[in-house]
Amino acid sequence: MTYESLLYEVTGALARITINRPDKLNALNGAVIAELDRAIGEIERDRAIRGVILTGAGPKAFVAGADIGEIASQGPVDGKARALEGQRVFRRLERCGKPVVAAVNGFALGGGCELAMACHLRVASEGARFGQPEVKLGIGPGYGGTVRLPRLVGRGRALELLLTGAMIDAQEALRIGLVNRVVPAERLLPESEQLLTTILGNGPLALQACLEAVDTGLDLGLDQALLLEANLFGLLSGTADMREGTAAFLAKRPPQFTGA
């Protein structure tokens, strides 16, 4: 499959998606959203791919938001449709069943911050900047910013970012829990890949179950979430990977997981 606004590379078990409109700071227009959807489809289908890195092209931006040129001319009906479509694609990424790490290499604003939040983990370069500046344009977030930001950093901090539209630096993003790690720019991709490789050393079905338990469980009541966890725990107990992982521990040898 070919892409015009993305770079899509697969190396071993890792897929790397790079949003590739550096002259527009990788702003998300309709074409980028459509290609992202296609790339996620490839990732879902390809069983050899076990983890994903998402980043932006060029030294300046991860993604500087939805394309303001497109937003400027939208009306209420196509505005809602744009939001729903972006939300669907970001949700598809979040539910793809394989760990996704955002390697945030610069501005992650508006839709860019929302895209990073739809990834499971975020590694930021020291120069990265985060924010939800939509209110400065007289609009609000449309790709999940009011939904995922409070879940990640808490209601008060989320509302401060949403209402001021202010940008914060990588260290502040780390302090409030918006990112997992901050690294020098030249270490961003190696550290992101290392993190993902470490994760992928664990049982694949166990990873999938953790993603599902947290994603679904966060929106359930305590007892239902605990029941979901117990059900997944029971399900994993029927896997060859669980037999292998526990046997390897007891035999003091590294496990050989097969994803079965």
Interface ranges with ligand COA (CB under 6 A): 24-25, 27, 64-69, 107, 109-110, 133-134, 137
Closer residue to ligand COA, CB minimum distance, 8 or 62? 62
Closer residue to ligand COA, CB minimum distance, 86 or 204? 86
Pairing of the two strands 100-104 and 107-109: unpaired
The nearest distance, CB 162 to ligand COA, in angstroms, is 12
The tokens for 27 are 């702003």
CB neighbours of residue 32 within 10 Å: 26
Helix axis angle, 76-94 relative to 111-118, nearest 10°?
Answer: 30
Closer residue to ligand COA, CB minimum distance, 68 or 159? 68
Are the C-beta atoms of residues 36 and 17 closer than 8 Å to each other?
yes
126 is annotated as an active-site residue: no
- Rounded Cα gap, residues 25 and 253, in angstroms: 47
The nearest distance, CB 171 to ligand COA, in angstroms, is 19
Of 134, 191, 193, 229, which residue is the catalytic one? 134
The nearest distance, CB 46 to ligand COA, in angstroms, is 31
The nearest distance, CB 135 to ligand COA, in angstroms, is 10
Closer residue to ligand COA, CB minimum distance, 12 or 79? 79
Of 4, 9, 35, 114, which residue is the catalytic one? 114
The whole-angstrom distance between residue 98's C-alpha and the CA centroid of its chain comes to 10
DSSP letter string, 5-51: SEEEEEETTEEEEEE--GGGTT-B-HHHHHHHHHHHHHHHH-TT--E
42 is annotated as an active-site residue: no
CB neighbours of residue 63 within 10 Å: 30
- Residues belonging to the active site: 114, 134
